[in-house]
Amino acid sequence: MKDKVLIANGQGFWGDSILGPIRLLREGPLDYLTLDYLAEVTMSIMQKLRSRNPEAGYATDFVALIDRVLPELVEKGVKVVANAGGVNPHACKDALLEVARRHGVTGLKVAVVEGDDILTDLDRLMAEGEGFDNLDTGAPLAGIRDRVTSANVYLGAFPIAEALAQGAQIVVTGRGTDPGLVLGPLIHEFGWGPEDWDRLAAGTIAGHIVECGAQCTGGNFTDWREVPDLAMVGYPVLEVEPSGEFVVTKHAGTGGRVSVETVTHQLAYEMGDPARYLTPDVIADFTSFRLEADGEDRVRVSGSKGAPATPTYKVSMSYADGWKSVGQLTISGPDALAKARLCAAIVWDRLAYDGFEYGPDERLEEFVGAGECHAGIEGGTSADPPEVVLRLGVKGPDKAKVARFGPELVPLVTSGPPGVTGFAGGRPKAQEIIGYWPALVTKERIPTQVTVFES
């Protein structure tokens, strides 16, 4: 058993900089590189892509990354764990094996973890007694069942550990917990079991700290003026010990900052009850551990406590929830705010004249530059900004009614007050709204499968 495992996370979301993981490989030693691509709405987008093309439905950015770094990965023996499989992990695996073929790399083992996608099993599971009631509202799924577009279970970390135990250098998963990308390698390396609750909690906390990439190394930090060289911010590296104690750091010589304060900022991210952070593997107590400086750009985390996991998985579902149309124009001063308000009123009045009225809950009206981001906070509103970005939009179940809004925005350029510009994007179109439906499902009803392929 190693006395320390180095795990870095180089991707906080699908769209994060490709330079993050590339630099992590170049700038210092690693055992594992994790990459987090999935958000709730991403699954529905991927499902739609796969419905149009059976070879789509995964994070193509991941394949492009591996294409750039595969020789270096093989040379250094760094293992990669990514949830880039989305709703089509086998297609992602096939694309990775093709990359290996182009590079002349043989013997590369790529594992696929599956079982999270339950879209085609929903009716069977409901017949077996799973209600999939909405965790926020308590409403039964039956009311929107015919509009569900994706349904994915948040799997835990043990299938990832199983894939690594089978010799995989790259592990591709679908939906799982974000911290599980880090916890899986730790389970594999240190032999942690399902009842090692304190260690599993420590691995979960470590994974949570790094899951948003550079957000724990100085990105999005309140005291941003104190963070050096954000252009070359170092992505986070974990040094984890068999006991579960770990250090959050970054490669030497990189930008950014790792301090108790930057780590604490990230710890508060997406936090419900901090004493009961629920995952499929453990309930982690985020009030139990200690943070302390451990040298320059090093924070040690110790004393993590955990409790047995619940008997259910969380399920993330998306469903068709109507239509929306949003557009914007730039209104220049003088009197930019007053002119922008007049523009908004003109649009609504013209639509009403043509028989299209939208209630307060059906329309959006924002004046960006006039205190919109901090509306209601004293001192956050400028009475006469030099320019204002007017954002207008509508939503509703009737696509035709939503689509009627777009043609009335651009005419303001010649039939509204002076100073209207920024219309190069053309008319806004009606777009589908994707609703989010969180639910629970009994673990015993969700089998998982790990398969390893070789180039």
270-280 tens-digit pLDDT: 898 999 999 99
The total number of structural domains in the chain stands at: 2
Q: Is the same domain home to 369 and 300?
A: no
Q: Is the same domain home to 363 and 415?
A: yes
Determine, yes or no, domain membership for 335.
yes
User: Position 161: which residue type?
Assistant: A
With a pLDDT cut of 90, the percent of the chain lying above it is: 89
Q: Is the same domain home to 302 and 428?
A: no
With a pLDDT cut of 70, the percent of the chain lying above it is: 98
User: Position 257: which residue type?
Assistant: R
Average pLDDT for residues 422-443, to the nearest whole number?
91
- In terms of phi and psi (left: phi > 0; alpha: psi -120 to 50; beta: otherwise), the region of 400 is alpha
Q: Is the same domain home to 244 and 373?
A: no
Q: Is the same domain home to 290 and 327?
A: no
Three-class DSSP category at 421: strand
Q: Is the same domain home to 73 and 106?
A: yes
CATH code, domain carrying 391: 3.30.70
pLDDT number for residue 281? 98
Q: Is the same domain home to 251 and 208?
A: yes
Three-class DSSP category at 9: strand
CA dihedral 56, 60, 62, 67 (to 10 degrees): 110
Average pLDDT for residues 42-59, to the nearest whole number?
87
Domain ends where: 310, 335, 367?
A: 310
Q: Is the same domain home to 274 and 375?
A: no
Determine, yes or no, domain membership for 49.
yes
- Taking 3-state DSSP, the helix, strand and coil percentages for the chain, each rounded to the nearest 5, stand at 35, 25, 40
Q: Is the same domain home to 338 and 365?
A: yes
> What is the model's pTM?
0.93
Three-class DSSP category at 65: helix
pLDDT number for residue 26? 96
Contact 420, 300 (CB under 8 A): no
Q: Is the same domain home to 325 and 431?
A: yes
Determine, yes or no, domain membership for 132.
no
Determine, yes or no, domain membership for 139.
no
Average pLDDT for residues 206-226, to the nearest whole number?
96
Determine, yes or no, domain membership for 453.
no
Determine, yes or no, domain membership for 447.
no
Q: Is the pLDDT of residue 379 over 70?
A: no
| CA dihedral for 62, 66, 72, 77, sign (positive or negative) | positive
Q: Is the same domain home to 384 and 297?
A: no
398-419 pLDDT, tens per residue?
Answer: 999 999 999 999 999 999 999 9
Q: Is the pLDDT of residue 380 over 60?
A: no
Determine, yes or no, domain membership for 137.
no
Domain that holds residue 348: 320-436
Domain ends where: 261, 284, 310?
A: 310
Here the tokens at position 32 are: 């594992």
d(CA 422, CA 426): 9
Three-class DSSP category at 439: strand
Contact 360, 299 (CB under 8 A): no
pLDDT number for residue 286? 97
Determine, yes or no, domain membership for 276.
yes
Q: Is the same domain home to 327 and 289?
A: no
